[in-house]
Amino acid sequence: MSVYEVTVPCFAQMLRALVGFLKKGEARARELGFDPKNLLQSRLAPDMYPLANQVLFACTQAQQAVLRLCQHPLPALEAPGDMEQAYALIERTLHLLSTADRARIDEGAQRQLSIEPPGGMVFDMTGSEYALHWAIPQFYFHLVTAYDILRHNGVPLGKADYVPHMFAYLRKPAA
């Protein structure tokens, strides 16, 4: 499998699932009579980032994977302040993914790159190592945390919401 195959399509399908999580969360909030924006400030523990940041970080990881592997500059992204901003951030990320250059991403898998997260640490690795050991795990960590925050707040999410793309592979029962 190419680095493109294990990143871009997976990020895109899971970001579409994230839109589904947020829409269910928004509907549940309205059903209970409160502003859906409140969900964006929800968190699982006092020292964890809230839902808005989980959406931001999932989008950041997907965008940065494409941009780093293609040797493009990284934009500064901001946490959404309301659901419309959250959907817009995800949509911009999906657009970037849909226009990603497969050949450049796969070429980037062989290049050396460095990532410098906050705290003064620097990680040197190949693009492939970066995709497999940093971008993908970070992306899924923040995506699952967003799911968990919404579940914790009573949003009726289940496995089918997490992997809706799998229904494309569902075998029809024999007649």
Q: Is the pLDDT of residue 142 over 90?
A: yes
Q: Which of 75, 51, 62 is nearest to 16 (CA)?
A: 62
| Dihedral pair phi/psi, residue 55, rounded to 5° | -65, -50
Q: How confident is the model at residue 166 (pLDDT cuts 50, 70, 90)?
A: confident
* CATH code of residue 33: 1.20.120.450
Q: Is residue 171 part of a domain?
A: no
| Tally of structural domains, the chain | 1
- 2-6, 27-31, 161-165: least confidently modelled range: 161-165
Q: Is 25:123 a contact under the CB 8 Å cutoff? A: no
On whether residue 175 sits in a domain, the answer given is no
172 belongs to a structural domain: no
In a domain, 169, yes or no: no
Q: Indicate whether 144 belongs to any domain.
A: yes
* pLDDT given for residue 118 in this prediction: 86
